[in-house]
Structure 1
């Protein structure tokens, strides 16, 4: 990055003139970023030169044996023990070097062997305790104690990657399939990396998604945490197999033309003592903020000190590690809102700009996110970063040079909340279609978002997916194709409409959680004491969508057609949709995007509606329907004629367009076929 270009005034205030009164706050944020970057890089050209902790700390082969290093500034003594020395706590002391870095050299190639269990034995004052190395790249769980233990892994061992050409390709607009490897199989148990690669990736490829977003990859001791309580940030979760198996998954995805994003958790850490970073050197503030500041009041987890250089070194090295060692194509950053406010955004509605620029804003966290985005795109210019921020912090997805934070996209978190509230609280006949347009199209200028109508949060026990919220108990009795009722017909019709509407209008990318594309009938309930440690509801029942007698096939086929339409027509490359006509009474919304015309009829009772479809944005000529939710192959009635050719005419008072027929609760997409 050319730091010389980071000078006020920044373009962010031109992009959003409402930020003008806060220019001093933005300048302060940028000045602090420049100073922090200067401290880290210290004259080097690239931030990547700083983020090499994984190449120094942990276990490494030398020409004559092994060397191990760990940063433990508060420790008084450190020893290495494990299978290699019969767990002798005395025989292998480490030497203390500068800045609290401890080191031991183990001569001989066989002094450590791949797969051996090891731990640290540390003294702080009069207390001795066990710890796992912070840079552990592989851990295993003891079946008797259910505690994690580090295993020796040769970091110099190379995987036979075959994805060089794919890694060099610039990404298309992301069509993201969010997935959890462990619950991705039909069996009542934990799925593996290789099972995912062999069984799920072909489904993702067939559906047309160009990106998968993997949850729960960083090591976590409690399976039911969904991966959001990380203990070992450099280790691939042991639950699903070996590190080599994860590399196989990523390499296989790349071979199919699918990019892979890591759901990275740098917003907080698991508080477990001994397995994670809590009291790693016997002090509470080695990695985390001291006292009450270091605890998340709602999650009960530890909070990083983003102002400490060594912590930045650890976290930035972690990002580079996952990019270089596992070839991840980018990251979805979890819990960004929690990071960037001292009160973690709890209970805040963020109704005015004052809430973004005050003493509650954590500038250290914002500067870390700027550094992280610079680093990620420096390592891979084609990388994609996504922020999970519900606060709407201005500039989150603007380039750093413009005064932004540097993310490529943010999740449009208000969209699924809107759909839930609408379906839960409002009768169909009372839907406000003007509000529906506003919710899907209102976003910060020049900042890209990922649209979605439901994610893993809506699939968990305690909440409901869209299909479950609409069909409820009839999901268990009404999914045979020959079965019809007002409840089930409505659920099938709206499931397709809501997904097409959100995908085509709600963002510059689109996200779907695994199984929701076909209306998976069960919520997610991880094995726990309350359910007898059962995996019955912690899996995806692919057998349902593979059954041609069930309606799940209809929903899956529609999702496939919708995603492939977006991909083939590069629909989401067009930054904005243009409203053509909204009729509040007849519940009609029409718009154009990417050269296509979209018609949505949300009315629940009009059996026939004919109206004038404006075509001035796409031009004069002939049009035909290329996709509709009413097609019989998707469970529709087949009332929309795909063979009929619509010819535009110019009518005084109405403009250029044509009359179109639209059944209730249906959507259609039209293309121009001639001028």
Structure 2
């Protein structure tokens, strides 16, 4: 046993084996390091333990879980558990060897974001275990065509309602669903099925629970003493002190643990903006400027650069994704260029503009056309991922379907159009569970998804569309090969606000082109002129109005582009556009 508690006068290991008596197994401090150590022979697997810590100045006794424990009791109990060293035999060698530090940029990435406890419950209504999730979730995501699973935090946490974002066990998969080797088997199963696994990781803050990190040795050890630096009042949590080497190493070790011990393919770092800014969500008198008088958290910036460089240098091909909601420059640029070193950044601006636009009655969309076109101004300043995440379907925001205007058919038509816009626009993709089949209610961690709606054709059709969008995205290099390059995208006509029609072209590295057309109102448009980069026949690859998706199968199967120049292009297509529909076209012959 070893634990860091520099302000302690005495530290003991306590547990069932000594009747939780701190006098029985006192630890020895290792020089001036503040690290206390003890070997106790004969303790078997599943032994429960904590540390009893006496502060040297106050004499206060604190009973703490092990910050580095590999497993804990299931909440509401909070003791750490002794578990044997893992002997799990991995079977994902081919997957691991295929990870590449550059190839991810040019490969399709379509992420299915999942909260494991509420995706689908066990038959008895309880949480599923990791084995059940490997058996059910993995083949579902694979068959839907997703390339990755992203898990809301499975780091151990005491409060279900935090969804894992208030972690107390930074090295332990939550025991709600099984043991660490069960989680390893889940990841291994995903890899063998061709699915990557990304974890939401939360190094920005931690909860105040008395059994965990807060005032660990009777002092502000992991956090700051001054609440102007050490508290997130909005969330009721504490902020890590990134200026302490021991705290930085604790968090860096956590990141490496998940990547090395559990073979994860990436970390999505939560709430990066809250780490970068000292005045994040604070009034003027509630924060302390840095040594230069600015609002940047210099220690957090250095930590983020360090963890990104360490992970990507040691594990090429692992992705580090930032949930960062501000205009901080260079989030996905290397530290050598002044960046933070992430591989990708969530495009929160695109997401907010898109959902605002699609939530409008189509009669008003002509006045807000720029909300869909504006993102191209900054689209290549970062490596962007396009997210429709859990945050957009909770806290009164309604489900994505619930945001759509109109009657039930129009809502689903708008959903089909929304997903076509997401999948056919440049940027990697993320969709939260349940939205692929149009769940009507807000998400809640307290139950499972509304799977019963799949008995209805409109929901079946939407699910089929997401599957087919994943298919064309994966199969068409023009849609995934140059998502971070401006030469892979060009507007054909972004100016027809009056009719709320958009058209653009996507290109692969060999110059093969695919045309995307969106009719964003419920008005059918006949022989609508679309600028075309070439004359000849164009075949419709995907039509969101297809009866297979719940539509009416209006629109063409193919179109002929004449040599009439239009809107800066050498040819013109005249296309019958169904209402609230997206079309994807490819030229015959490639």
TM-score (norm 2): 0.90
CA deviation after TM superposition for structure 1 residue 551, in Å:
1.6
Post-superposition Cα deviations, 1:434-490, rounded to whole Å, max 9, x if no partner, equal 4133244232644111113x311122242212211236xxxxxxxxxxxxxx61121
Task: Report the alpha carbon displacement of residue 114 of structure 1 after superposing the two structures with TM.
Answer: 1.0
For 2:134 and 2:216, the matched residues in 1 are separated by 35
SS in 2 for 1:234: strand
Is residue 266 of structure 1 aligned with residue 203 of structure 2?
Answer: yes
The one-character-per-residue Cα deviations of 1:536-563 (angstroms, maximum 9, x if unpaired) are: xx31133432x2x432100000011111
Superposition deviation, residue 652 in structure 1: 7.7
Aligned to 2:430: 511
Check 1:345–1:381 CA distance in 2 against 1; reply closer, same or farther (3 A cut).
farther
1:242 deviates by: 1.4
Deviation, structure 1 residue 340: 0.3
Is the 1:304–1:311 Cα contact (8 Å) retained in structure 2?
Answer: yes
RMSD, aligned α-carbons:
2.2
Q: Aligned residue for 1:581? A: 493
Q: 2 CA distance for matches of 1:597 and 1:217?
A: 41
Q: Identify the residue that residue 646 of structure 1 maps to in structure 2.
A: 560
Deviation for aligned residue 1:237: 1.0
State the SS of the aligned residue for 2:317.
Answer: coil
Matching residue of 1:609: 526
Deviation at 1:598, TM superposition (A): 0.4
CA shift in 2, pair 1:444/1:556, >3 Å:
closer
Instruction: Tell me how far apart the structure 1 counterparts of residues 9 and 462 of structure 2 sit (CA, whole Å).
Output: 62
Q: Counterparts of 2:374 and 2:283 in 1: how far apart (Å)?
A: 21
Counterpart secondary structure, 2:339: coil
Q: What does residue range 53-132 of structure 1 map to in structure 2 within 5 Å?
A: 68-98=1-31, 99-107=33-41, 111-125=42-56, 126-132=59-65
Structure 1 residues without counterparts, runs of 5 or longer: 1-67, 349-356, 472-485, 527-534
**Separation in structure 2 between the aligned mates of residue 261 and residue 162 of structure 1, nearest angstrom:** 18
Paired residues for 1:447-526 under 5 Å: 447-452=382-387, 454-470=388-404, 487-505=407-425, 507-526=426-445
Q: Give the Cα–Cα distance (whole angstroms) in 2 for the partners of residues 121 and 302 of structure 1.
A: 22
Q: Deviation of residue 423 (structure 1)?
A: 4.5
**Range moving further from structure 2, 251-260 or 290-299:** 290-299
Partner of 2:469: 562
Distance 1:168 1:442, change over 3 A: farther
Aligned residue pairs: how many? 560
SS in structure 2 at match of 1:338: helix
Judge conservation of contact 1:173–1:508 (CA < 8 Å) in 2.
no
- For structure 2, the residue ranges without an aligned partner over 5 or more in a row are 285-291, 508-512
Closer/same/farther in 2, CA of residues 652 and 211 from structure 1, 3 Å limit: closer
* Structure 1 residues 604 and 551: CA distance shift in structure 2, 3 A: closer
1:140-289 to structure 2, matched below 5 A, reads 140-141=73-74, 146-155=76-85, 157-169=86-98, 170=100, 171=104, 172-186=107-121, 188-274=125-211, 276-284=212-220, 286-289=221-224
1:345 offset after TM fit, Å?
5.0
Match of 1:409 in 2: 344
Q: Deviations over 1:626-658 (max 9, x none)?
A: 10111110111111232x352442448863232
After superposing the two structures, state which structure 1 stretch, 619-628 or 631-640, moved more. Answer: 619-628
Return the alpha-carbon distance in structure 1 between the equivalents of residues 310 and 373 of structure 2.
35
Query: 1:303 and 1:382, CA in 2 relative to 1: closer, same or farther beyond 3 A?
Result: same
Partner of 2:287: none
Structure 2: how far apart are the matches of 1:652 and 1:391? 38
Q: 1:580 to 1:101 in 2, by over 3 A?
A: same
Task: Say which SS state the counterpart of residue 472 (structure 2) adopts.
Answer: helix
Question: Is the contact made by 1:520 and 1:541 (CA closer than 8 Å) also made in structure 2?
Answer: yes
SS in 2 for 1:457: helix
Q: 1:598 aligns with which of 516, 519, 538?
A: 516
Do 2:127 and 2:176's aligned partners in 1 also have CA atoms closer than 8 Å?
Answer: yes
* Distance 1:208-1:153 versus aligned 2 partners, 3 A rule: same
1:608, CA displacement in angstroms?
2.9
Instruction: Describe the shift of the 1:346–1:408 C-alpha distance in structure 2 as closer, same or farther (beyond 3 A).
Output: farther
